[in-house]
Amino acid sequence: MKTAAEIMTKPVVDIEPDATVAQAIAKMKENKIFSLLIKRDKRMDTWGFMSETDVIEKVVAKGLDLSAVYVHEIMTSPVITVSPNASLQDCAGLLARADIRRVLVYDGKNIVGIVSSRDIFNAL
């Protein structure tokens, strides 16, 4: 059975926590991706994660100004991770149990990839 390392999307694109949502959207469009890793900084000891769903539900639906909201205000944290050797079945089960669409792949030091429901589907 395939592992997270074999199906993950990499590299992971990241952004500073003090970037605005408008800046994050521009970076997502530039890289043709739908989520970003939010870097750790001195205020946070963990990574965050922001997806297009976060932008739509937490900013657009509330009528907030994309240039006045910062990614650290809407990110999901702490992040859910799997090891690179996690099986496809383990990744799929985790997504289902946590009711999420993506999980980050952590090698013990760094986030090295993202496994999405689409990655799992395409690996079948």
Instruction: Read off the CATH number of the domain in which 87 is found.
Output: 3.10.580.10
Residue 1 pLDDT:
85
Q: Mean pLDDT, the chain, as a whole number?
A: 93
| Residue for token pair 């408008």 | 22
11 by Cβ neighbours in 10 Å (0-12 / 13-18 / 19+) ranks as exposed
pLDDT at 43 over 90: no
pLDDT, tens digit (0-9, with 9 covering 90-100), for 59-99? 999 999 999 999 999 999 888 999 999 999 999 999 999 99
Half-sphere exposure of 66 (CA within 13 A, CB side): 13
Cα dihedral: 63, 67, 69, 72 (round 10):
140
pLDDT at 42 over 90: no
Tokens standing for residue 60: 């657009």
Residue 40 pLDDT:
83
pLDDT at 41 over 90: no
Count of domains forming the chain: 1
Cα dihedral: 40, 4, 13, 110 (round 10):
30
Identity of the amino acid at 34: F
pLDDT, tens digit (0-9, with 9 covering 90-100), for 6-15? 999 999 999 9
- Residue 65 belongs to what domain range? 4-123
The reply to whether omega before 78 is within 30° of 0 (cis) is yes
pLDDT at 33 over 80: yes
**Beta carbons within 8 Å of 57's beta carbon, 6+ residues apart:** none
Task: Pick the closest to residue 48 from 102, 10, 117 (CA basis).
Answer: 102
